[in-house]
């Protein structure tokens, strides 16, 4: 039986097992490949998307839990094909090395700034903590979040 998901404002009928993680549906069925598979265990944040405006690990969320909820991915942040304030700040600060973690970082930062538009350094550190960067670009990510907050 198809499960209907609302992703970036559009309805999608998904023909997949109800236990399928959202991340697999995004990447494999809908070609929304911003969210990445890192650990698959809820430990790295590479797969972060928003559900009802809150950041979640999409590798852990079965699609059965998501009918009627509003899902936003990295692709959904674009407005008129232009990057969001946070996306632009990450570009301006060149806050990526390999880039694998960055989609998740951007989603985490968007959620942080939505609830705390002018966070202190400590609030940024705490807010971004669930997301890991194996390349160690944390200083640049911090600058990007601050730049977005100031924009
Ligand atoms: S891939 Fe989801 S938390 Fe690592
Ligand atoms: S830029 Fe490589 S994992 Fe973060």
* Confidence class for position 11, pLDDT limits 50, 70, 90: very high
Tens of pLDDT along 46-78? 999 999 999 999 999 999 999 999 999 999 999
Q: Residue 10 phi/psi, 5° resolution? A: -115, 145
Please state, for a pLDDT cut of 70, what percent of the chain lies above it.
99
CA 66 to centroid of ligand 1, rounded, Å: 18
Per-residue pLDDT band at 135 (split at 50, 70, 90): very high
Give the residues surrounding ligand 1 with Cβ less than 6 Å away.
Answer: 37-40, 42-47, 57, 59
58 CA from centroid of ligand 1 (Å): 7
User: Per residue in 112-121, pLDDT tens?
Assistant: 999 999 999 9
Shortest-distance atom of ligand 1 to CA 59: 2
Can you tell me the distance from the alpha carbon of 16 to that of 21, in angstroms, rounded to the nearest whole number? 10
Nearest CA, atom 4, ligand 2: 133
Q: How confident is the model at residue 98 (pLDDT cuts 50, 70, 90)?
A: very high
Average pLDDT, rounded, for the chain: 97
Residue 71's pLDDT is 98
Q: How far is the CA of 99 from the centre of ligand 2 (A)?
A: 5
Q: Is ligand 2 within 6 A of the CB of residue 101?
A: yes
- 101: phi > 0 → left, psi -120 to 50 → alpha, else beta; which? alpha
Distance CA 7, CA 74 (A): 11
Query: Would you say the C-alpha torsion 47, 15, 70, 82 has a positive or negative sign?
Result: positive
Per-residue DSSP letters for 31-71?
---SS--S-SSSSS-TTEEEETTEEEETTT-BGGGGTT-EE
**Per-residue model confidence (pLDDT) at position 86:** 98
Q: Look at residue 6 in the predicted model and tell me its pLDDT.
A: 98
Ligand 2: which of 100, 103, 107, 142 to mutate, most ligand atoms within 8 Å of CB? 100
- Label each residue of 106-146 as H, E or C: HHHHHHHHHHCCCCCHHHHHHHHCCCCCCCCCHHHHHHHHH
Count the Cβ atoms, other than its own, within 10 Å of residue 67: 12
Instruction: Please tell me the predicted confidence (pLDDT) of residue 25.
Output: 98
From the CA of 101, the nearest ligand is: 2
């Amino acid at each position: 039986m198809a499960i209907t998901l609302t992703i970036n404002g559009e309805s999608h009928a998904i023909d997949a097992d109800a236990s399928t993680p959202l991340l697999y549906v995004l990447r494999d069925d809908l070609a929304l490949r911003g969210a990445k598979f890192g650990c698959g265990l809820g430990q790295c944040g590479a797969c972060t998307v928003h559900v009802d405006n809150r950041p979640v690990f999409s590798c852990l969320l079965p699609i059965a839990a998501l009918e009627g909820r509003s899902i936003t991915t990295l692709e959904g942040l674009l407005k008129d094909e232009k990057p969001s304030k946070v996306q632009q700040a990450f570009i301006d600060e060149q806050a990526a090395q390999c880039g694998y973690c960055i989609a998740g970082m951007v989603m985490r930062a968007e959620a942080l700034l939505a609830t705390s538009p002018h966070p202190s350094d400590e609030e940024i550190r705490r807010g971004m903590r669930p997301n890991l960067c194996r390349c160690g670009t944390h200083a640049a990510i911090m600058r990007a979040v601050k730049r977005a907050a100031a924009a």
